[in-house]
Structure 1
């Protein structure tokens, strides 16, 4: 066989191989295109099968609990807020998050979720995080029907927040980041339980939480959802009938507070903390006479709740260190800085920390 014919055969073989590779790649690309769905089915905590985009990049919360939880995991995906950030938040948050449009909330006292405004920001998913109400299926389906946007519910309590984050991580394609938050929440809750086992029921401090302009509202009434953390870490003596689930709590009179006469009083931010020491009526109380009264740190959120979301994990650390320092043994500045970086994406300075806890810890511990 001549060299010319051999060269021709080699050329034909090479061309055939190149064509085969090209066809194979083309088929592979076609298969990849056809096998990567644009949507997937997500099973939420209400066992609803919800069709959502395979890649979610734009979300809105249905309320304040969801807003806090989602901000920790995916602030860049938020295209709206359920409510304005407290002015105290501005020093901690990037302005691009602080100035997002406000869309209202579905549950809670306001119940002002603005479906028209939601449609304008065009999210891919509306996410609800919190307790599963008896009407949750109808509620979520109703929102989806009205605005045409998939709506999912993620059940979350203090005990189950870790699993809630894992579900959110799966939904948003942020499994790794969600696992960090999940383990943090589970770790803090577990340590709080361990601390209280060491304290024991007999060692629990008698305590009440007061709010309102006159301090005569007990928002964290014993047995209420809002009082979950307080009931865990203290003997919450604020026992009332017909527990209110509203943020304003149950109004009581001074006579009732004197009868309770707790060892420790925790005041809500913007309550009467700064004036009780000079008030003759409040001075009748053991906690005031002994200087055992404190103001809950505030910024961006109240550490004890309001709303009762992931901010309460910071509250658990603070209040166990406040009440039982020999059992908790936290470095509060270190723990606060860690929390703010994880959940608010903020580098907390020592000066900011001191301002946060100025009225909130034993003076010799600041």
Structure 2
């Protein structure tokens, strides 16, 4: 090699070295302290990106399903709580190592959580006083997920992006949801108030043989889904406080909605719908006479909840409430996209484990 060639090579190597050094200087260390503020305004300073994460408290499925949209959750979630609507009807499909994790009993206490030595505990925001504060007294970092509205959901996704050190994935997830909401909003841009049908969402329950129908609070996700889908929630004038409220037949008759959507968290909304259609009292309601009573879509869980499936629930609702304007939404295609993009499931797995369990009025 000539002197000139050798000199040029040295210059190239020097430039590469300097570029690498410059790049390293802006890449944060995984052990560098990070400060995260969640959707509730609560702030935690962590020693670094946590490697040991526990999930605890009520509404566990909503938290875990959101967390597991990040691939690193499979390795970093080391413990979770087993509650009703069991965590284990869906998670085994996306986390083969689930059996190796610590499974907390229902209503686990702070001492049991501390025993697994988590570097971070994640839970629903309404668990702050009951469980989050006691964990804080044990010097365990806690962050809360709200999930109750689309806006809160997007913020929670960005929080998790910080937790996993993966803003790119957080942005991908947000884009998946926001683009689909935008499609519906564009479809319905010209809809006037008088073109919006009166919609009633009813949760059916028969605990201890006591049949009841309930409506959600105005501030809850179910109400927002109806509004975004181009419907008018007829129960909005009721101040239902902080939870589902029982309504009687007289109130339902007074509303006499154009459409009725039946929710059952036991997965039997289709059976309830058939019973109501054959009931001599319910058959007098306008919605039933016009064939506008629907069993809410359901796979592992009902699609109306502040779980990751709310986007499927929104798309499904939109095709029922304003079917002509939302004819560009293929709900079955969206099911495949949802499980593929958000959970990395291939078509064979979806065909074998998701499609056969779909219930409700799908498509």
Same fold (TM over 0.5): yes
Conserved 8 A contact 1:223-1:231: no
Conserved 8 A contact 1:303-1:312: yes
1:146 offset after TM fit, Å?
3.1
Aligned to 1:164: 156
Q: Give the direction of change, closer, same or farther, for the CA distance of 1:283–1:88 in structure 2 (3 Å limit).
A: farther
Partner Cα distance (1:164, 1:39) in 2 = 22
Partner Cα distance (2:259, 2:67) in 1 = 34
Conserved 8 A contact 1:61-1:80: yes
Asked if 1:254 is matched to 2:241, the reply is: no
The correspondence for 1:266, drawn from 258, 261, 283, is 261
Partner Cα distance (1:175, 1:340) in 2 = 20
Q: Larger Cα Rg: Structure 1 or Structure 2?
A: 1
Aligned to 1:119: 114
- SS of the aligned residue for 2:200 comes to strand
TM-score (norm 1): 0.74
Aligned to 2:36: 43
Q: Give the direction of change, closer, same or farther, for the CA distance of 1:89–1:171 in structure 2 (3 Å limit).
A: closer
Asked if 1:199 is matched to 2:191, the reply is: yes
The correspondence for 1:146, drawn from 133, 137, 141, is 137
TM-score (norm 2): 0.74
Asked if 1:359 is matched to 2:360, the reply is: yes
Asked if 1:289 is matched to 2:289, the reply is: yes
1:91 offset after TM fit, Å?
8.0
Q: List per-residue Cα deviations over 1:167-197 (Å, max 9, x = no partner).
A: 3112212222222112112222322332332
Asked if 1:54 is matched to 2:48, the reply is: yes
Conserved 8 A contact 2:36-2:159: no
Conserved 8 A contact 2:54-2:122: yes
- SS of the aligned residue for 2:274 comes to coil
1:319 offset after TM fit, Å?
0.9
Aligned to 1:71: 68
Conserved 8 A contact 1:55-1:172: yes
1:324 offset after TM fit, Å?
2.0
Asked if 1:211 is matched to 2:211, the reply is: no
1:51 offset after TM fit, Å?
2.5
Q: Give the direction of change, closer, same or farther, for the CA distance of 1:321–1:70 in structure 2 (3 Å limit).
A: same
Q: Give the direction of change, closer, same or farther, for the CA distance of 1:203–1:210 in structure 2 (3 Å limit).
A: same
Q: Give the direction of change, closer, same or farther, for the CA distance of 1:241–1:330 in structure 2 (3 Å limit).
A: closer
Q: How many residues align?
A: 317
Q: List per-residue Cα deviations over 1:20-41 (Å, max 9, x = no partner).
A: xxxxxxxx9xx99xx9573513
Q: List per-residue Cα deviations over 1:286-307 (Å, max 9, x = no partner).
A: 21122211111222221111xx
Conserved 8 A contact 2:46-2:141: yes
Conserved 8 A contact 1:296-1:360: yes
Partner Cα distance (2:320, 2:176) in 1 = 20
Aligned to 1:19: none
Q: How does 1:8-27 map to 2 (within 5 A)?
A: none
- SS of the aligned residue for 1:217 comes to strand
- SS of the aligned residue for 2:140 comes to coil
Q: List per-residue Cα deviations over 1:227-264 (Å, max 9, x = no partner).
A: 22123321111245431433xx1111112112211111
1:320 offset after TM fit, Å?
0.7
- SS of the aligned residue for 1:265 comes to strand
In the alignment, structure 2 segments of 5+ residues that lack a partner are 1-20
Q: List per-residue Cα deviations over 1:295-352 (Å, max 9, x = no partner).
A: 11222221111xx233211111111122223222112111111112234443454576
Partner Cα distance (2:56, 2:91) in 1 = 22
Q: List per-residue Cα deviations over 1:48-105 (Å, max 9, x = no partner).
A: 5522132322212344332221121243122222444547537855454388544478
Q: Give the direction of change, closer, same or farther, for the CA distance of 1:224–1:104 in structure 2 (3 Å limit).
A: farther
